[in-house]
Structures are given as C-alpha cells and as structure tokens.
Amino acid sequence: MDASFVLFDVKDLTRVQAAFNLLNTLGIWLPIIAIVLLGVGVWVAKGHRRALVGAAVGVAVAMVGLGLALAVFRTIYLDAVPAAGWRTGPVGTWVDANKPLLRTGAVTLAALALVFWGQPTGKVILLLAGLLLVALALIEFLGQPPQPTAAPTTRT
C-alpha cells in the first residue's frame, strides 16, 4: 500500500523553495551587513562626526520611508485577516473584560520598577517604557470582545 498522495501539483516548487531559503538567509544577514558597512563608512570618512550624522540621517529617512510604506500597504496585509478578526478564544474574552485592571497593573508595575530602581539611567527608563508599551500592546491585541454566535437556523 502506498501511503503517499499528492495534495496539489506545483510546477516550480524547487525554485520557490530556493527563493524562500534565500530570502530567509538574507533576512538574517542583510541588517548585519548594513550596520557593518555604516560603521566602516564612518570609520574611513575624512570627517567622522559628519559621516556619523549623515549615516544617522540616512537611517532615519529609511525608517520614515518604511513607516510610510507600511501605512500605505496596510490594507493589503490586513485583507488576510479573517472578517471575524483574530481568534483569541476565552483568553481574549477574559482580557477584554479585565482591560482596565490589566492596563493599570502594567503601568503600576513599570512605575514601581522605576521608583525602586537604585539609580535609573536613561537606558533603564527607555527599557521600562519600551516594556510597558509592549505590555499595553499585548493587552490591546489579546483583548478581543466576545464573538457573537449565530443563531441556529431550523429548516422545515
């Protein structure tokens, strides 16, 4: 008995797999290469400070461009989300019911961490603020209202 069967036939499967593997590898190495090239460019420049400012402005412009591209193409990738939204199940219902308490708890924990930190530096404050933003984003993401269930239909 042959236990294998064909689900669907793809003519260029090996080519698509090779392209995916290439993109996966480039996704890891391109940011590292870009940072190294920026560092080398600043190091070999005649005016190091001016080159550093130019590199920083270039990175900032690239980030703004990426933000604009994401804002413009947002509808394209949001079309992949089902009409009912993300399915978070009972966790989403619980988080939705307790959002104010969870938000207050997250802000309180961040404030207590800041208060009881020995000598908070700017990096510590930025880290705590970033962690707080991640926690609040997770609360908003997970806090889905309960999905209305369709009334059962009876056929006669």
Show the tokens assigned to 125: 């404050």
pLDDT value at position 4?
Answer: 72
* Residues 62, 35: Cα–Cα separation, whole Å: 13
Show the tokens assigned to 36: 């190294």
- pLDDT higher than threshold 60 for residue 125: yes
- Structural contact between residues 134 and 110, judged by C-beta atoms closer than 8 angstroms: no
pLDDT in tens, 14-55: 888 899 899 999 999 999 999 999 999 999 999 999 999 999
- Structural contact between residues 149 and 113, judged by C-beta atoms closer than 8 angstroms: no
- Parse the chain into domains and list their residue ranges: 13-78, 89-142
Show the tokens assigned to 55: 């590199």
pLDDT value at position 148?
Answer: 63
Mean pLDDT of 143-154: 65
pLDDT in tens, 58-68: 999 999 999 99
- Structural contact between residues 97 and 143, judged by C-beta atoms closer than 8 angstroms: no
Residue with tokens 């042959």, as numbered in its chain: 2
